[in-house]
Amino acid sequence: MSSRIKIVLLSVILWLSTIPAHAQTQGAIPGVPPDLIEDIVIGSRVLADFGVVDGFGHVSARDPANASHFLMSRSLAPALVSADDIMEFDQDGNPVDARGRSVFLERFIHAEIYKARPDVMAVVHTHSPGVIPFSVSKTQLRAVFHNGAFLAGGVQVWDIGKQFGTTDMLVRSNEIGKSLAQALGDKPVILMRGHGDVTVGPSVKVAVFRAYYTDVDARLQAQAIGLGSDVTYLTPEEGAKADTVNFVVLDRIWNLWKQRVQPK
């Protein structure tokens, strides 16, 4: 290929890259505002950027145009997710219009939580390295500081083996997803034994914030335990009050994250 053609193509590519990510997909899924798609993209990338997810994990949002459906990327590493990768799934986790795209094995986590929790507008699943140790330990994850306040109401560990015996550890069916959703109850976070965690929230931003600060809080708690003295945790009442503030300051950190991972 000649250099001239290459330069022309590169110019076109550069020009394409100046069109904002959501402009390109506007209208791709009927009734879905581009901002929501963008939040899923930013959330996926920022969790990858902080190592809360590596090649695995996913961020979803309830479909505003059809409350029993949800939106999630095709099967792809979170760091690589773009607006074009977001697909629509029905209440049982079936893709509405797959067009040959492969989907996440564990989409049932999302489907069953949206079914069980009408208040939940977003779900994040990670293999958070700070959290996994707590998923296999008798030591309970607790709220160490105010940004982890949403943990102060208590965090359960769901052990897939309790109900399903020997498995491949994955939430690969609606039945398993339902068991996980039941264990989550009305809480914002649930740990999965030998696997990771799920965080939920009234928006993508909140669910991502919780995935991030569950990881941070877990690391802080592990360090505090390592000091060898008694540890003082936030009381459930302090947690309830402090978590209200998290919602107020959320945009401050979200704007930072957006700049970090915004597709240029």
User: Closer to a second copy at the Cβ: 75 or 156?
Assistant: 75
Neighbours of 25 (CB within 10 A): 18
Looking only at residues 69 through 128 of this chain, which bind a second copy when binding is defined by CB under 8 A? 75-77, 79-80, 105, 127
The residue type found at 216 is V
Least gap, CB of 67 to a second copy (angstroms) = 28
Contacting a second copy (CB under 8 A), which of 34, 133, 153, 202?
Answer: 133
Active site annotation includes 106: yes
3-state class of 242 per DSSP? helix
Q: Can you tell me which residue has the tokens 């506007």? A: 26
Computed from CA positions of residues 235, 141, 56, 253, in that sequence, does the dihedral angle turn out positive or negative?
Answer: positive
Out of 88, 106, 175, 238, pick the active-site residue: 106
DSSP state of 6: H
Please choose, from the candidates 86, 90, 111, the residue with its C-alpha nearest in 3D space to the C-alpha of residue 101: 86
Are 89 and 96 in contact by the 8 Å Cβ rule? The answer is: yes
Contacting a second copy (CB under 8 A), which of 4, 30, 100, 252?
Answer: 252
Looking only at residues 12 through 41 of this chain, which bind a second copy when binding is defined by CB under 8 A? 12-13, 16
Least gap, CB of 72 to a second copy (angstroms) = 14
CA distances from 180 to 7, 30, 54, 140, 144 (A): 53, 30, 22, 18, 25
User: Closer to a second copy at the Cβ: 120 or 220?
Assistant: 220
Contacting a second copy (CB under 8 A), which of 21, 34, 145, 174?
Answer: 145
Q: Cα(211)–Cα(206) distance, rounded to whole angstroms?
A: 9
Contacting a second copy (CB under 8 A), which of 195, 207, 210, 215?
Answer: 195
Looking only at residues 220 through 249 of this chain, which bind a second copy when binding is defined by CB under 8 A? 220, 222-235, 237-238, 241-242, 244-245, 248-249
User: Closer to a second copy at the Cβ: 119 or 230?
Assistant: 230
Mind telling me the catalytic residues? 106
